Chains A and B, each alone.
Chain A
């Protein structure tokens, strides 16, 4: 997985609440069997009209936001389905950091599996960051120090230590867990004795 340490760039403002995963990447793009190539379809229905032409005033279609690495969005970003295609499409577009007041649990988790940093800020901070994004102020995200800096704004953010560590090192979760194989095997043999009905074959 790609590491995330620091990120610098302008942020795209998307002041809509409850941006759901259907909005981020609609159903027709879930038919792929690959993780890549979804960036062009990110926010498809807002980004393209019914004829497939770019909607000129949609933020990610305008310069310089078409090169955004950061997104600032309204409350409850990423609600809805578990589709990891949502973070895949954000990442494929180039977005590595999303800032909002809250994220849906599954989406939040999926971001960390893909080297994307979701940052939770409070409502006042979001309002100020949204304005900074609109005025094309450069953002500096610093994960080791857990800070967002944009113009004269500077905020700290919280992140669980293990998530931070995984992003900083770009660690593969499966590799870590496979280090605990003996524990898993011993759990299974205990449970087979205690609750044998759980081990009937499907």
Chain B
């Protein structure tokens, strides 16, 4: 690739981080920021110890416990295994001189919430974490992707990763988002359209006026679920909205470094004639508020739609897959989505656990009560999101409506901590995966936006925000 040829945002970040080609033809890519959490790191640190290796750049690394942590009574982690995992992270970070936000630190939270919140996430960076939702950070125009534990160990030891370039895919969404349609609906719609393997081998760049008009937090929701579309990373061009969001955060550049950084960041957007291996154009008017009916994020439909029939499948495999999903979900073809009764509401996760999400929920449930048969919980994405919400009085509104107000963590998005669904329980969730058993064995998950989840909490059924009063 010559310097003159037009480049995508991805190409630019890639070439700027290429240390060299290895003899075997793979590329050694430099990593600017490494985020570490308790679940996927202990074996990596153990591997370093066994091989007598050290961490190359502890100061480029930050750690937090989020997956396992209780959202009530945090002083005491009851599950002995969870406790060991959290303690192991504290011990490993101490041993290697890595910054660790402990459970009592207000900065503790979901790793993908705190990176942006602290200004650690910046445009043009390469960012990795042993977690697939690392794609979230792509909202800043950073190349950010999830890695396995062996790669975590590799990055700790070498500050690099072995890669081959991904293919470029651009998804452009144009026009104003219709009433009731959010960035969550936008990404669910995209996943429904291209499928959960649609982005495999690609980095997806989200473009177009609908995307450009989104706030940083809404952009993070879109990039977060790139992995559910099969892509390891999502990207959005950095712009003034990005710069304004970063400025003044604890780890943002300052003074002359800020000016230098903004100049560089401004050079990152894809060249107008850059080549994409795959292009998709969507008109925003096609998009409705979306909700999942099955056990894969691609099993998604407009909230005013009906549960699909296996007979509608285009292939025998797909038919079997729909049958399996419907059996697990306990749903009959033809049922209106808004007739589906709920047991639980979960608002939170790295997809939708930020302050704007909580504000939207509070606006919808203000002076209302959740349906008597539902249990609803809100888990802020970080201690600082929680504090901000409390300063704005959102917690009072939410508690008055009947929501439980919890401490920060991944919580019921994956149910590694005590927050889980019981078999057969049905949940409206603002998280990212509706896999079988994801939120608890036998639990049934319907993914949706915070707005839909809030309205659904009040109605006790899946609700269409457009009809909600």
Contacts of B180 in A (CB 8 A): none
In the assembled complex, B282 has its CB within 8 A of some CB on chain A? no
Which of B19, B32, B324 meets A198, CB within 8 Å?
B32
A residues contacting the other copy or chain, number (CB 8 A): 61
User: With A and B bound together, what is the CA distance between A75 and B158 in angstroms?
Assistant: 34
Contacts of B154 in A (CB 8 A): 173-174, 177
Interface residues of A in 146-202 (CB under 8 A from B): 160-162, 165-166, 173-174, 176-178, 180-181, 183-184, 187-188, 191, 195-198, 200-202
Q: Are A198 and B125 in contact (CB under 8 A)?
A: yes
Interface residues of B in 275-323 (CB under 8 A from A): 296, 317-318, 320-321
| Contact bitstring B190-216, A, C-beta under 8 A = 1, else 0 | 000000110011000000000000000
In the assembled complex, B371 has its CB within 8 A of some CB on chain A? no
In the assembled complex, B336 has its CB within 8 A of some CB on chain A? no
Q: Are A180 and B22 in contact (CB under 8 A)?
A: yes
Interface residues of B in 133-172 (CB under 8 A from A): 134, 145-151, 153-154, 157-160, 162, 164
Q: Are A105 and B61 in contact (CB under 8 A)?
A: no
Contacts of B318 in A (CB 8 A): 17
Q: Are A200 and B251 in contact (CB under 8 A)?
A: yes
Q: Are A31 and B197 in contact (CB under 8 A)?
A: no
Contacts of A197 in B (CB 8 A): 122, 253, 257-258, 260-261
User: With A and B bound together, what is the CA distance between A187 and B16 in angstroms?
Assistant: 10
Contacts of B72 in A (CB 8 A): none
Q: Are A17 and B317 in contact (CB under 8 A)?
A: yes
Q: Are B88 and A202 in contact (CB under 8 A)?
A: no
Contacts of A74 in B (CB 8 A): 317
Q: What number of A-B contacts does a CB cutoff of 8 Å give? A: 197
Q: Are A31 and B82 in contact (CB under 8 A)?
A: yes
Q: Are B317 and A113 in contact (CB under 8 A)?
A: no
Contacts A26-B437, A45-B437, A105-B232; A202 near B132 (Cβ below 8 A): no
| Contact bitstring A113-139, B, C-beta under 8 A = 1, else 0 | 110000000000000000000000000
User: With A and B bound together, what is the CA distance between A176 and B161 in angstroms?
Assistant: 11
Which of B25, B51, B197, B441 meets A174, CB within 8 Å?
B51
User: With A and B bound together, what is the CA distance between A76 and B227 in angstroms?
Assistant: 13
User: With A and B bound together, what is the CA distance between A121 and B442 in angstroms?
Assistant: 32
Q: Number of contact residues on B: which range applies?
A: 35 or more
Contacts of A40 in B (CB 8 A): none
Contacts of B79 in A (CB 8 A): 31
Q: Are A196 and B26 in contact (CB under 8 A)?
A: no
Contacts of B454 in A (CB 8 A): none
| Contact bitstring A8-44, B, C-beta under 8 A = 1, else 0 | 0000000111101011001110111111000000000
A residues near B (Cβ < 8 Å) are 15-18, 20, 22-23, 26-28, 30-35, 45, 50, 74-76, 79-84, 87, 102-106, 109-110, 113-114, 160-162, 165-166, 173-174, 176-178, 180-181, 183-184, 187-188, 191, 195-198, 200-202
B residues near A (Cβ < 8 Å) are 19-20, 22, 24-26, 28, 30, 32-33, 39-40, 42-43, 46, 51, 53, 56, 59-62, 67-68, 79, 81-82, 84-85, 88, 99, 120, 122, 125, 130-132, 134, 145-151, 153-154, 157-160, 162, 164, 196-197, 200-201, 227, 230, 232, 251, 253, 257-258, 260-261, 264, 296, 317-318, 320-321, 324, 414-416, 423, 433, 435-438, 441-442
The 9 closest A-B pairs by CB, nearest first: A113-B150, A197-B253, A33-B42, A201-B59, A162-B24, A31-B81, A110-B148, A82-B146, A84-B148
